[in-house]
Structure 1
């Protein structure tokens, strides 16, 4: 697991996940494309193969007002302008034309289209004007500065891009040898209505520029993203022939371009499923299914009659390793290549002395908390509210005769034998937990004992990713249960004392996996606690892991699941670290500044959560 304390400050940048999520929701709404993802890159660009558009990191390290409005203007342009009003047919023809200055020509067109589309958006949506005004203000200063540097270095083609941007915003800059006629031609863009109109103006400029400049533009101020030639691959499977003869449809807008990728992905998955249903397992022997049973036994499992019937048909969940399951779009796009294994945690050795020592230390805390909570539960059950306008009729009816506005009714709180709540505890099983395993186990045991004492259903799961086996094609993840819902009051202290640290952690994936289990619970209050000692770190899961985790927490909240985070550290945490975890988990993230505080903070989290359950019923 990577730490947020990186060795160079500029490498320690984190993204505001809440803001990025808001931009993603806005983009999906403007484009009417809920599948659309938003990421950050150097320049705004389109990547339909990933169903993503990128906003520019150009807006970072500015005031919050400028940063937010800058991102908003990027989204307005991409999802509200280019999405439907940029002609891909015209772009295809434009790209076919040969020129000695291709980079300059392409950037001039994108500059022209940005202006045309921003003016169109502002006219149609007046509420966007403020964001575009701030965008123009910042970019004007940027291009003024860039024009001076490019002129000084002799980058004439780059200077022309700066001058072109500024001229459309009524700012004139001059370069020796740059004809005034170019400026006059460029202002014809004020009347441009389509992408083809912009191309005609750009080509007039290029007719002169090709004779003026010997070298192409060096810097990139605009980029389109993926090449238009990168069309979605056509997938078909043996036995499904009907679509082979179909000609690919002509794509005219960016919306259609993205939809074709999205549709192809869905069709590919559907076709694969249909093939499996119609043809069966292609790995069977040639002799047919009868030969399947002739293979060697690969795995055996010993049954266990403890507890009630196992949930979700997991009759064999006590075997060492389950069959792998594929994520395949169920747990967020950052986790599409994940395969995961679910199994019971195994007891390793005799930990009775350790467990007895831990429980002896924790006994006063556990007893005090259980006594306090049970007392509060009893008070709530026996509490009576009288003098009400509605409810049960009191036996004391004298007020009906002597009072002008009698209130002869009362309500008694309905008794509740058990707390209507369920808890899940996810434990980060990455290698960086190695130096704090004993303290973590004590905290987990406290969690287990308190909830067993209250007869509250709960699960305790260790999660990790196998870093040595992870690749672009497959990222193996593991979930090991120490305690499951159906185990009820069974003591699993030995399993808790036996868990070990492994390699990486994919937090967003683990949270979504546990959310899926909690969604099926009928309890009124559902809590998910995450014990972690750093930021998400797994294969191809760096910055996007932070965003993925924040999105997973937001999704859980929408489903009525309360996510709490306990950051485990062996030293005092910085303000930067605290802000980092609050960015992912909101105000439900707390930290233990020392190893001795692990148990104390766990107790505090449990106490606060259970008080909430008792108060709200």
Structure 2
């Protein structure tokens, strides 16, 4: 779970999870599409098959104001501009026309640049609040294209230089100085054509301007673009806009094979398909046969004496066993408790298959000696802590309920004279000796926990003993992903139950000591799993503690693990479950690590300077949380 430092520092950079979620929710609101997801890539673009829009890394390494405004402008353009106002059919016609043209990339990116100019103006008029972000966007991009103009012209990248010059002309006007570069092109006429972009209202009109410019330079420019400036149209092709069905389906689902007119229609179609089905349709053309009718021409008469050559079994879970170890599959009499996550635990975990299994207590001399020794050392801390909490409960001031129809008579009897229906009685609330709280503890079961396993067990044991003494319901579970069998199609996960809500006040100290480390960890999934278990409880205060030693790491989870964990934490908090993180490390965390934990868990993340302090930090966290419960 502990993250290794990459050789190139840039690869270690991560966008603030809170900010990315903010941009994502803004994009969903602007596009009116609650399924949209947002990532950061080299250039801002669409990914319809995955339901993703991406903002650009171009805005990094600037002042916070410029970074925020630049990213906002990407979100505005993608979800309020291209989303509804970019004509997909016109774009496809334009692409097909220049498919084999020597200046294909120049032509396509020129049209996208013209569309960016048109849509910035359209969005700004529709939503005046976007003007500040677009103003900063223009300033930064103008500076970028000026620098690139000189660089590309010096390197004889004429197509690139012309695109840079056209961007400057579009946003600064026809009075832009074009004499700093010796153009072997009719540059004045080209700039004049570009000036008509201010009057264009549709994609087709912009396509005509792009065609005129390409026609003027196609004989004069030998080489196409060297660099890429726009990727927003790359994913919008025939494969994403037209769905192919079996021949027998064309009448049954008439109209579905027609091209989509807007980016919004493409996204909604792919989303509808991914919701109703699962599997390879996310990567290949859709091939359907849901409502087809056979004519019986290829049927074969049955034969009751025929030998059975092949058997099949329904439900895909039957094939999951091949992904687990031989030992697990061959245990006699063992019933499979495997469950599929599906879409219930977030998009990152669609292919997760998980199992909840009680950890078997190892009752050997080593564990018994450890248990007695550790409890003897922790006994004073547990006893003093429990006594402190009980005193807090006893000293809690009785609350009075006034204006009742029956109870104790109040000393203030003016209500008998003033009120039409006097209620002069009151009652005292008797504080409950039982704390109205429930706890869930998730313990990272990844391999990186091996060097601090004993200290972790001590902290978990202290947590268990304190809550048992206070009669507070709690559940303790480890979590890990089986990296040996994880693949693109299936990611097996395991929850090792050390103590459950059904165990109540049972002493599970030996079970805690029997916990062992395994492989990877999928934090966002584990948090959602424990949140579900806490939400069915009736206690008022619900707490979820996560003991881990770094960032999430699992199959296909490295890139989005931090964001997914943050989203899982926010979901839990929104539902009334407080999530608290304790960083388990053999040394004091670095500033980068602190920033990472803050990104995932907000201000509810604690750490220790050494492994010896795990129990102290656990006790401190419990004291704070139970103080909230006592009130």
TM-score by length of 2: 0.86
Residue 343 (structure 1) aligned to one of 350, 354, 357:
357
* Alignment-derived partner of residue 216 in structure 1: 224
CA spacing shift, 1:234–1:109, aligned 2, 3 Å: closer
* Alignment-derived partner of residue 112 in structure 2: 110
CA spacing shift, 1:240–1:482, aligned 2, 3 Å: farther
* Alignment-derived partner of residue 383 in structure 1: 398
* Alignment-derived partner of residue 268 in structure 2: 259
SS in 1 for 2:122: helix
* Alignment-derived partner of residue 166 in structure 1: 168
What is the correspondence of 1:293-304 to structure 2 with a 5 Å cutoff? 300=332
* Alignment-derived partner of residue 471 in structure 2: 455
* Alignment-derived partner of residue 18 in structure 1: 18
Deviations 1:228-265 (A, max 9, x none): 2223897999x999957775133100000001101112
What is the correspondence of 1:115-154 to structure 2 with a 5 Å cutoff? 115-154=117-156
Q: Aligned partners of 2:249, 2:107: CA distance in 1, in Å?
A: 45
> Residues 163 and 173 of structure 1 are in contact (CA less than 8 Å); yes or no, is this contact kept in structure 2?
no
What is the correspondence of 1:68-467 to structure 2 with a 5 Å cutoff? 68-98=68-98, 99-170=101-172, 172-174=176-178, 175-176=181-182, 177-178=184-185, 179-223=187-231, 224-231=233-240, 243=252, 248-268=257-277, 285=311, 300=332, 322-350=336-364, 351-380=367-396, 383-384=398-399, 395=409, 397=411, 412-467=428-483
What is the correspondence of 1:24-103 to structure 2 with a 5 Å cutoff? 24-98=24-98, 99-103=101-105
CA spacing shift, 1:106–1:39, aligned 2, 3 Å: same
> Residues 465 and 476 of structure 1 are in contact (CA less than 8 Å); yes or no, is this contact kept in structure 2?
yes
> Residues 408 and 427 of structure 2 are in contact (CA less than 8 Å); yes or no, is this contact kept in structure 1?
no
SS in 1 for 2:238: coil
**Could you tell me how far 1:183 is from its partner in structure 2?**
0.3
CA spacing shift, 1:4–1:211, aligned 2, 3 Å: same
**Could you tell me how far 1:266 is from its partner in structure 2?**
2.3
**Could you tell me how far 1:3 is from its partner in structure 2?**
1.9
* Alignment-derived partner of residue 512 in structure 1: 528
CA spacing shift, 1:398–1:105, aligned 2, 3 Å: closer
Q: Aligned partners of 2:314, 2:50: CA distance in 1, in Å?
A: 39
Q: Aligned partners of 1:23, 1:263: CA distance in 2, in Å?
A: 23
Deviations 1:92-136 (A, max 9, x none): 101111321011111111100001001001111110001101111
> Residues 242 and 260 of structure 2 are in contact (CA less than 8 Å); yes or no, is this contact kept in structure 1?
no
SS in 2 for 1:587: coil
SS in 1 for 2:277: helix
SS in 1 for 2:172: coil
> Residues 398 and 430 of structure 2 are in contact (CA less than 8 Å); yes or no, is this contact kept in structure 1?
no
SS in 2 for 1:422: strand
CA spacing shift, 1:413–1:599, aligned 2, 3 Å: same
SS in 1 for 2:189: helix
Identify the range of structure 1 (122-131 vs 4-13) with the bigger mean alpha-carbon deviation.
4-13
Deviations 1:554-610 (A, max 9, x none): 111111110000011111111221111011100001111111110001111111111
Q: Aligned partners of 2:581, 2:613: CA distance in 1, in Å?
A: 14
SS in 2 for 1:151: helix
CA spacing shift, 1:58–1:392, aligned 2, 3 Å: farther
> Residues 108 and 202 of structure 1 are in contact (CA less than 8 Å); yes or no, is this contact kept in structure 2?
yes
SS in 1 for 2:168: helix
**Could you tell me how far 1:383 is from its partner in structure 2?**
2.3
> Residues 419 and 456 of structure 1 are in contact (CA less than 8 Å); yes or no, is this contact kept in structure 2?
yes
Q: Aligned partners of 2:275, 2:255: CA distance in 1, in Å?
A: 17
Q: Aligned partners of 2:620, 2:382: CA distance in 1, in Å?
A: 12
* Alignment-derived partner of residue 574 in structure 1: 590
* Alignment-derived partner of residue 573 in structure 2: 557
CA spacing shift, 1:587–1:391, aligned 2, 3 Å: farther
1:521 equivalent to 2:537? Answer yes
Calculate the aligned-residue CA RMSD, in Å: 3.2
CA spacing shift, 1:210–1:438, aligned 2, 3 Å: same
**Could you tell me how far 1:474 is from its partner in structure 2?**
1.3
Q: Aligned partners of 2:470, 2:147: CA distance in 1, in Å?
A: 67
**Could you tell me how far 1:82 is from its partner in structure 2?**
0.4
SS in 1 for 2:477: strand
Identify the range of structure 1 (34-43 vs 572-581) with the bigger mean alpha-carbon deviation.
572-581
CA spacing shift, 1:195–1:353, aligned 2, 3 Å: same
* Alignment-derived partner of residue 299 in structure 2: none
CA spacing shift, 1:408–1:129, aligned 2, 3 Å: same
Deviations 1:261-289 (A, max 9, x none): 011122325999x99xxxxxxx9947999
Structure 2: which 5+ residue stretches go unaligned? Answer: 282-286, 291-308, 319-328
The size of the alignment, in residue pairs, is: 580
Deviations 1:195-240 (A, max 9, x none): 0010000000000121121000110110124242223897999x99
Q: Aligned partners of 2:470, 2:150: CA distance in 1, in Å?
A: 72
TM-score by length of 1: 0.88
> Residues 234 and 264 of structure 1 are in contact (CA less than 8 Å); yes or no, is this contact kept in structure 2?
no
CA spacing shift, 1:267–1:389, aligned 2, 3 Å: closer
